[in-house]
Amino acid sequence: MNGPSTQTLVDSLAVRLDDAAVTRTPCAQLSADHELSVDTAYAVQRAVVEQRRSRGEYTVGVKLGFTSRAKAAQMGVDDVIIGRLTSGMIVADGDEIDLGDYIHPRAEPEVAFRLNRDVVPGTEAAAAWDLVDAVAPAVEVIDSRYRDFRFDLSDVIADNTSAASAVLGPWRSLGDIANRGVVLEFDGRIVGTGSTAAILGDPLRAVSAAVRMAHRYGISLSAGTVLLAGAATPAVALQAGTTVQATVSGLGRVRFSVASREKASDD
Ligand code: OOG
Ligand code: MG
């Protein structure tokens, strides 16, 4: 479908986004000078992830965006989107991240699922429950590569849905998670609250949606794939020196701290 000139454009836009991430320098929205279709935007996303692969990373999961009204309203985009999580994005529970590795990171509490098998195209969407072997509380750190965290639908798809890091809490077997309270805290202060019911009405629906979208955009889903269902609350900007904790009622909690190289050298 893509002719050579489209591929050249896709590659050059991917390099623009990858450079922004690597140098922590925000770039202009692609939509400022290109009208990209959703399909072309996903092609750019694939090429962006290819850049990470060339540095030794590999794909470990997928994430959905804008599965809740709170997120759609915050960012002004209300189509569900899918992005890729790579090995370099995964942060262990209790670890520290460094602000210097990001442009303008924000945290949002999420629910993570883990797939128990390779999911091939054509798998019944209704069998979502059967595809999941574990669930965990998580925090996604998003970091738009665009100036001022502003984008349109194609921009954010091309930018791998602002994916930057995913902090995963302890896995447990899947139970009823349809209406669980979600709390995000910075240093013990509540900065966001919501319910898992805000995620497509039931976060398990995110599994069916992810399977459908992954197959549509050529993302393979193998056993062990991590799936972030999308935030139920608006994302909150991170600051150095903060301990971030997300709790999903009945699922437990996940925590990480935010350091800053600059601050350390000032001290
Ligand atoms: C895009 C990513 C949206 C979610 O959970 O809805 C997302 C963004 O807000 O920058 O990850
Ligand atoms: Mg998210």
Mean pLDDT of 209-230: 95
pLDDT at 126: 56
CA distances (Å), origin 141, targets 99, 136, 222: 11, 16, 23
- CA 33 to centroid of ligand 1, rounded, Å: 23
Q: What would the pLDDT profile of 163-217 be if each residue is shown by its tens digit?
A: 999 999 999 999 889 999 999 999 999 999 999 999 999 999 999 999 999 999 9
Q: What would the pLDDT profile of 16-37 be if each residue is shown by its tens digit?
A: 999 999 999 999 999 999 999 9
Q: Read off φ and ψ for residue 188, nearest 5 degrees.
A: 80, -5
Q: Read off φ and ψ for residue 139, nearest 5 degrees.
A: -125, 130
pLDDT beyond 60 at 127? yes
CA distances (Å), origin 84, targets 3, 11, 42, 220: 24, 17, 11, 10
pLDDT at 266: 44
- CA 267 to centroid of ligand 1, rounded, Å: 34
Q: What is the DSSP letter of 28?
A: -
Q: Count other Cβ atoms within 10 Å, centred on residue 86.
A: 19
- Please give the single-letter amino acid code of residue 232: A
pLDDT beyond 70 at 4? no
SS (H, E, C) 180-229: CEEEEEECCEEEEEEEHHHCCCCCHHHHHHHHHHHHHCCCCECCCCEEEC
Mean pLDDT of 63-73: 95
Q: Which residues have C-beta within 8 Å of that of residue 261, sequence separation ≥ 6?
A: 98, 99, 100
Mean pLDDT of 108-126: 86
Q: Whose CA is nearest to atom 8 of ligand 1?
A: 162
Give the ligand with the smallest distance to the CA of 66: 1
Mean pLDDT of 240-259: 97
Two tokens, residue 147: 């100036």
